[in-house]
């Protein structure tokens, strides 16, 4: 194992052993910042929402370039369900195991250590930032803040992609349909208005809703997920129900557009069924107040934007050239199935280019692990992107 691959693996093990659930990333942020200082980054700081930013100074001949991952991870569930301890960072064969191995501490280690190679030899054409943000998993507080404070023209998003390039994904919007009726004793239902019947009509309308299609990302989709009523007793007709819907929107369709479509479905089914005229359906995008580990409160709407870069976007073409040169083979550029912080960056006018090691389908599972050999490859590509992407894409 090369010196800095060993370094990368050691660092990844430390990252996995340091818990960092959303809102509790402080200890991990210090670990990442200290690692950047030890590696010799020219500037390292933690911003007001708790994001870590490391900078390597360039020659001033190209725009700044950003590398990005996130500090937080999803919960592990019952640790007994894991083949290896989720916070052990154990190595078995060529694999490092644990929560965050692919989403996203493995890719983070490959960025932090890989990009640090620029500190030896010639400096890059422009400044290179390596950033790790808070609360990606719960709405993107960190990325939304970073997109405002450090909007570089291009950002390399390190979500796992099998070391292939990604140029977009659908967005995710959480919508809640609130349906009101009139609660009564369940023995005399005719005296009330049961909102569950209106909900049935609404869900029927959803199932047959025509969705727009994107040539690269496929159609928007909607899935009813959580259902809640205002009652806890089985012998009471509810007065209110809340139906949560998970909407995956294609580029060009905002969360607000999705909300309008659902509200239109509601209006139509109620108009077509006069028996339910007393029910009301109101569709909203909930806003949740999120607190960062630094103590700031930020209202975050449940909407993560979609984005797609055209196949001939200069950042995509330049990244493909650089990858081909390092990997000595052609790997098709794809799209992600899931949403990332890239949507927030794209909304701010930045071009997010996806590239990270690891199998994306192991993210959020009990089998999460990453192959050490992919870390080496990822570091080599990150180093090359850091050296060339900002100048070759401009
Ligand atoms: Zn992730």
Ligand 1 centroid from CA 363, angstroms: 8
Ligand 1 centroid from CA 7, angstroms: 22
* Cβ atoms 306, 138 nearer than 8 A: no
Count of other CB atoms within 10 angstroms of residue 3: 7
pLDDT at 17 over 90: yes
Ligand 1 centroid from CA 137, angstroms: 7
Ligand 1 centroid from CA 357, angstroms: 12
Ligand 1 centroid from CA 280, angstroms: 38
The mean-pLDDT minimum among 210-214, 220-224, 248-252, 273-277 falls in 273-277
C-alpha–C-alpha distance, residues 195 and 254, integer Å: 28
pLDDT at 51 over 80: yes
- How far is residue 147 CA from its own chain's centroid? 14
Ligand 1 centroid from CA 111, angstroms: 14
Ligand 1 centroid from CA 316, angstroms: 21
Note the pLDDT of residue 276.
85
Please name which of 4, 82, 66, 18 lies closest in space to residue 367, comparing C-alpha atoms: 82
pTM score, whole prediction = 0.93
Ligand 1 centroid from CA 202, angstroms: 33
pLDDT digit string, tens, across residues 286-313: 999 999 999 999 999 999 999 999 999 9
pLDDT digit string, tens, across residues 91-136: 999 999 999 999 999 999 999 999 999 999 899 999 999 999 999 9
Ligand 1 centroid from CA 267, angstroms: 37
Going from the C-alpha of 232 to that of each of 238, 241, 244, the distances in angstroms are 9, 12, 18
Ligand 1 centroid from CA 235, angstroms: 44
C-alpha–C-alpha distance, residues 282 and 237, integer Å: 20
* Cβ atoms 61, 126 nearer than 8 A: yes
C-alpha–C-alpha distance, residues 308 and 313, integer Å: 10
Ligand 1 centroid from CA 322, angstroms: 24
C-alpha–C-alpha distance, residues 117 and 123, integer Å: 10
C-alpha–C-alpha distance, residues 30 and 136, integer Å: 18
Q: Is the previous residue joined to 104 through a cis bond, with omega within 30 degrees of 0? A: yes
Ligand 1 centroid from CA 161, angstroms: 11
- How far is residue 145 CA from its own chain's centroid? 14
In this structure, which residues have their CB less than 5 angstroms from ion ligand 1? 103-104
Q: Which residues pair with 312 in a beta bridge?
A: none
Ligand 1 centroid from CA 63, angstroms: 26
C-alpha–C-alpha distance, residues 163 and 377, integer Å: 8
Segment holding 264, helix H or strand E: helix 255-272
C-alpha–C-alpha distance, residues 138 and 143, integer Å: 11
C-alpha–C-alpha distance, residues 46 and 55, integer Å: 12
- Structural domains of the chain ordered from first start: 3-169+306-392 (3.40.630.10), 171-289 (3.30.70.360)
pLDDT at 24 over 80: yes
C-alpha–C-alpha distance, residues 173 and 286, integer Å: 10
Going from the C-alpha of 263 to that of each of 144, 198, 358, the distances in angstroms are 27, 13, 40
Look over the chain and give the mean of its residue pLDDT values, rounded to a whole number. 96
* Cβ atoms 301, 345 nearer than 8 A: no
> Sign (positive/negative) of CA torsion 153, 159, 162, 163?
positive
Q: How many helices (H) and strands (E) does the chain have?
A: 9, 21
Query: What tokens were used for 75?
Result: 């919960």
């Amino acid at each position: 194992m090369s010196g800095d691959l060993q370094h990368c693996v050691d660092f990844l093990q430390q990252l996995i052993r340091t818990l960092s659930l959303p809102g509790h990333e402080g200890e991990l942020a210090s670990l990442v910042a200290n690692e950047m200082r030890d590696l010799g980054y020219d500037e390292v700081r933690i911003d007001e929402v708790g994001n870590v930013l490391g900078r390597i100074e360039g020659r001033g001949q190209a725009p700044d370039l950003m590398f990005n991952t996130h500090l937080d991870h999803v919960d592990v569930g019952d640790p007994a369900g894991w083949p290896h301890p989720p916070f052990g960072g154990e190595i078995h064969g060529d694999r490092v195991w644990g929560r965050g191995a692919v989403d996203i501490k493995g890719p983070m280690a490959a960025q932090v250590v890989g990009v640090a190679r620029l500190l030896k030899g010639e400096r890059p054409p422009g400044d290179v930032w390596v950033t790790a943000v808070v609360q990606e998993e719960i709405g993107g507080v960190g990325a939304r803040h970073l997109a405002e404070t450090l909007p570089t023209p291009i950002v390399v998003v390190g979500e796992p992609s099998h070391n292939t390039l990604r140029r977009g994904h659908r967005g995710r919007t959480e919508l809640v349909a609130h349906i009101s009726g009139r609660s009564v004793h369940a023995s005399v239902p005719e005296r009330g208005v049961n909102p569950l019947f209106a909900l049935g009509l609404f869900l029927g309308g959803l199932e047959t809703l025509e969705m727009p299609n994107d040539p690269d990302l496929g159609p928007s989709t909607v899935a009813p997920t959580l259902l809640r009523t205002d009652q806890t007793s089985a012998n009471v007709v509810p007065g209110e129900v809340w139906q949560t819907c998970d909407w995956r929107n294609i580029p060009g369709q905002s969360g607000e557009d999705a909300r309008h479509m659902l509200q239109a479905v509601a209006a139509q089914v109620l108009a077509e069924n006069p028996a339910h005229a007393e029910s009301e359906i109101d569709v909203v995008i909930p806003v949740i107040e999120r607190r960062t580990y630094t103590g700031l409160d930020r209202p975050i709407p449940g909407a993560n934007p979609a984005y797609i870069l055209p196949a001939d976007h200069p950042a995509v073409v330049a990244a493909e050239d650089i990858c081909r040169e390092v990997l000595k083979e052609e790997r098709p550029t794809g799209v992600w199935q899931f949403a990332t912080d890239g949507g927030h960056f794209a909304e701010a006018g930045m071009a997010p280019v996806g590239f990270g090691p690891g199998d994306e389908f192991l993210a959020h599972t009990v089998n999460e692990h990453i192959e050490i050999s992919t870390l080496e490859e990822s570091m080599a590509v990150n180093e090359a992107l850091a050296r060339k992407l900002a100048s070759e894409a401009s």
